[in-house]
Amino acid sequence: MRLLPEYSSITSLLLALPYKGSDWDAVIDEALECYRSMVTNFLQHDNSLIVQLLAKPGSDWASWLEKLCRTANLSNAERSRLVIITDIDYDDTWIRDYGPLSFIEDENQQGASHYSYKSFNFNGWGQKYSSQADNQAALALVRYGIAPQLKSDFVIEGGGLEINGKGVLLVNRDCVVDDKRNAGLNDLAVSTMLYKTLGLHDIKWLHNIQLTGDDTDGHIDTIARFINDDTVVCCGRNRQHHDAEALEALNRQLEGICNEQQWTLHTVPMPIVRSKVDDRLLPATYANFLICNGHIYVPTYGAREDAEAISTMTAIAPNYTIVPIRCEALLEQHGSLHCATMQIAGDAL
């Protein structure tokens, strides 16, 4: 079994809807509107994609759906590709970190490849938040066609993994080698577990890089991403940014890795975005984009750097359709577009 890169062909996309009575309450209307925008863009730009949306049992998801159907001008065919799942509980909406990961199994004697899915233990990013329901959600998706599925005892989040098609993993040590996640496991033990569970060829480590406001301790999907086997996009340097030191370290480390691997490295700008609720600094990053079936959905934040980010992604990914989606509401809970989604490849559904 080999973990698939995110630019593999996919069949469906998972999301989990924000709900009242959660940490989203201060911006719940804005967050729900952001999810309407995301779902609309996914359905209208990709007519092969099924969107599977978890809705908190007992929540008022019907009102969200009614407004979506009333305002989004979805066709019947588009609406038919939205599946609302109301019988799987969850704590938080960041399904990237507790959703199932897509694997491909080696070809059999008939030359056919098969897909399977694996989830890891999730403990609220190192026991920071409640996570009991989140940790059970992935396996419950078996009854919605995401099967066969295995569960690993290893604690790691999907947003902490970035792999290319050659089996090389980019990962930030700070959110994997962690006594609050994998107590007692040192660098060698964690590396061994990653090789074993993900089917890796190699691991390239970053370290000591984290954006202000990021609860994950530095998930790779907030700072550096593959767009193909040999091209990495990362957050660029910015001397005026409050995380200038971390951005410098990120670029310096990646330049060394990319030179060694003969990869091309591109950068996107780093905006400074503050909360509309309490003016705190938020972890805004354009690197938290989502790749789906020939499209790259890029989060934007109403910042002056938005246009540069879109033009940069258009230039470095000419074979993709670039679709901007406003995501400042997601930042209020310290995540963005990629964090809120999980691609499902292969035979699911």
- Which tens digits make up the pLDDT trace of 169-183? 999 999 999 999 999
- With cut-offs at 50, 70 and 90, classify the pLDDT of residue 17: very high
Q: Mean pLDDT, to the nearest integer, of 213-231?
A: 97
Is it the case that residue 317 has pLDDT exceeding 70? yes
- Which tens digits make up the pLDDT trace of 101-118? 999 987 555 556 789 999
DSSP 237: P
DSSP lists the bridge partners of residue 171 as 205
Which tokens hold the place of 324? 């901007």
H-run or E-run covering 121 = strand 114-121
Euclidean distance between CA atoms 115 and 136, whole angstroms: 21
Residue 284 has what pLDDT?
98
**Total count of domains within the chain:** 1
The CATH number for 282's domain is 3.75.10.10
Per-residue CA distances from 290 to 166, 191, 279 (Å): 20, 26, 27
- 3-state helix, strand, coil split of the chain in percent (to 5) is 30, 25, 45
- Which tens digits make up the pLDDT trace of 62-88? 999 999 999 998 999 999 999 999 999
Residue 113 has what pLDDT?
72
Euclidean distance between CA atoms 37 and 72, whole angstroms: 8
Domain that holds residue 72: 2-345
